[in-house]
A and B are shown apart, each in its own frame.
Chain A
Amino acid sequence: MARYTGFHRPNRPLALYAGAFAVFLYLPILFIPLFSFNAGVYVKFPLEGFTLAWYADLFQREPLQRAFWNSVQVAAVVSISSTVLAVPAAMAIARYRMPGKRAAVSFIMLPLVLPGLILGVALLTLLNGLGVRLSLVTVALGHMVICLPYAISVLLPRFIGFSRSLEEASADLCESTWWTFLRVTLPCNMPGVLACLLMTFTISFDEFFMAFFLSGTEPTLPMDIWSQLRFPQDFPSLLALSTLILVTSFLMVFASLKLGRIGLVQAKEVR
């Protein structure tokens, strides 16, 4: 008698494919931490023994630390300002019917699909034409162009899932629109706002193209890494640095995805 195998039977080829997919995706990345602990200067097998020297070396490099702080500053400004701008935009998109809304939303999301190289050249041309001097401020501006669509796409599902009746209840209990926003809308959507901050911070911190075209004398961290690539003896230190960035970025994106989902399930239950 044939055993019944339902629709949910284990699918071996699919599992194999998924495994191969993950290996293809992450194997190259795993070489970075691997060689950052390697005692040899050159990236080649066999490995020459374990060392933390390259990590210690990072603390000796003053320009690199400057670049790191530049990046942190830019990322902080970019994440806060793009989140502040994206919250009202996402609320408006989620809430109101307006003519041409779909077109407007697609337009906002456009930088997501534009190649960074082209966007960078375009912004550089524009800023040169306007006679703006390149600095960390122009880098931050470029980063905001990239971060805003991400911010909106993180926040939009939050505000769409947010029950309007909570705001109506607040209005009914004598609170004005502004106080309703502060006392109900914002706290209820805090996980989404935090997720947005983390996401945009990470994007800005890792971004290269905009920084390449728009930075002046002060480099950001990716710029500094780029300029160090010419010196082979520095390469293992860069691997160490990349490992640190990799781990931090991963944790931040992971936290932001997790946070972004928290309230969504709750909101559904309340409704």
Chain B
Amino acid sequence: MISLRSVCKSFGRMQAVNDVLLEIAAGEFFSLLGASGSGKTTLLRMIAGFEAVTSGQILIDGQPMQDTPPHLRPINMVFQNYAIFPHLTVRDNIAYGLRRLGTPKAEQARMVDAMLELIALPGYGDRRAHQLSGGQMQRVALARALILKPKLLLLDEPLGALDKHLREQMQMELRSLQRQLGITFVLVTHDQEEALTLSDRVAVMANGQVTQVDTPSGLYDRSRTRQVAAFVGTMNVFDATVRTDGSARIADVAGLGVMALNGCSQGRANGERVLVALRPEGLGLSRTKPAGPAHAVAGQLQARQYLGRRQLLHVKVAGRAAPVTVATAAARGEDPWSGDEGSPVWLTWAPDAVSILDPT
């Protein structure tokens, strides 16, 4: 559907987008996730045609786009500030793009009605932009783009200006709309929760480059870098040294001892310094030293973050400055670690929970 081939963009001496390679499939809900200044919006604006590509190529359905102006691309966009035309009514805003297609007036009216129905704003047709709330403007911007039946819809932080409750509701609506229409969506967001909730695949961007492209669960379970790991949730990251233990490779972590490296140690030399990562869900906690061969480390429960059924426990371990974070689930009506701050505990971890991060 859309291919980005070594796309670069520089503004003067500043390299905004650097060598981005992406393939986005038809019907996919794809997100570009990154902090502000990571180049994600510039990338989106290049796809839409508002910024010229400095080098590299953008292809849509195999067609190179560098000589196609924005108004001739089979793409529509929902702008960050919605860009609803203030001098037109909601109806005229939605019908705006139909003029060029030469749609007869009666047919236009019918299509606009259908769109107002789709965005659940029937009866709002005669209002103007300043009479709409943020969420309503967002829907009008969506309808205005979708009425042209684009192959590709670009969304630039579409939910950024909405409050939390409305944002979650619009997220669900966006997702079901995308399923229903089967249009390819490319979303730009700095909100990792939004990206993970909505997308089929996510590209994490930093400093103008794509750090990792994966499914939401792939990003969570197989974070490639420390920055991706931190972006998609809480992650314990440890400096470690790779060692050989018989035929197996192990990581030696200060304060925690050795961790098995199952399969993720390929190409690592003996004695190499690496970063190993462990999600809080991969760790376990008990009050007494667990029996059996599992490796266990003594520590002290320092702080507790209650998050409903799930809670995050921060454990201080001798020889480590920062506490280790453990996630536990509790059954209904139970709060197993209540009031245990300061008490001694034992940490364990599953051997397959450990992964190695790329440096940087």
Contacts and interface: CB of A to CB of B under 8 A. Distances in A.
Interface of A: 163, 165-166, 168-176, 179, 183-184, 187-188, 266, 269-271
Q: Which of B49, B70, B129, B145 has the most CB of A within 10 A?
A: B70
B71 A163 contact: no
A181 to B, nearest CB: 13
A188 B86 CA distance: 7
**A-B complex: 4 closest residue pairs judged by Cβ atoms:** A173-B97, A169-B83, A165-B83, A171-B70
B100 A174 contact: yes
Counting chain B residues whose Cβ lies within 8 A of the other chain, the interface size class is 20 to 34
Contacts of B85: 166, 169-170, 184, 188
A168 B76 CA distance: 11
A168 B79 contact: yes
A85 to B, nearest CB: 24
A271 B81 contact: yes
Nearest to B87: A187
Given A266-B86, A269-B130, A172 B77 contact: yes
- The majority secondary structure among interface residues of chain A is helix
A171 B87 contact: no
A192 B222 CA distance: 57
Q: Which of B83, B97, B99, B100 has the most CB of A within 10 A?
A: B83
B130 A173 contact: no
Interface string B17-33: 00000000000000000
B324 interface: no
Given A168-B70, A270-B81, A271-B81, A173 B76 contact: yes
Given A269-B130, A270-B129, A171 B83 contact: no
Contacts of B77: 168-169, 172
Nearest to A187: B87
A168 B83 contact: yes
A176 B71 contact: yes
Nearest to B101: A174
Contact of B81 (A163, A170, A172): A163
B243 interface: no
Contacts of B71: 171-176
Contacts, number: 71
A266 B85 CA distance: 12
A165 B70 CA distance: 13
Given A165-B79, A175-B100, 19 more contacts: A165-B80, A169-B83, A169-B85, A171-B50, A171-B69, A171-B70, A172-B70, A172-B75, A172-B145, A173-B76, A173-B144, A174-B71, A174-B97, A174-B101, A175-B71, A183-B96, A183-B99, A187-B87, A266-B86
B229 interface: no
B196 interface: no
B148 interface: yes
A173 B86 contact: no
A172 B77 CA distance: 7
Contacts of A184: 85, 87
B203 to A, nearest CB: 22
Interface string B88-124: 0000000011011100000000000000000000000
B181 to A, nearest CB: 18
B129 A172 contact: no
Contacts of A270: 81, 86, 129
A183 B99 CA distance: 11
B240 interface: no
Contacts of A173: 71, 76, 96-97, 144-145, 148
B48 interface: yes
A173 B148 CA distance: 8
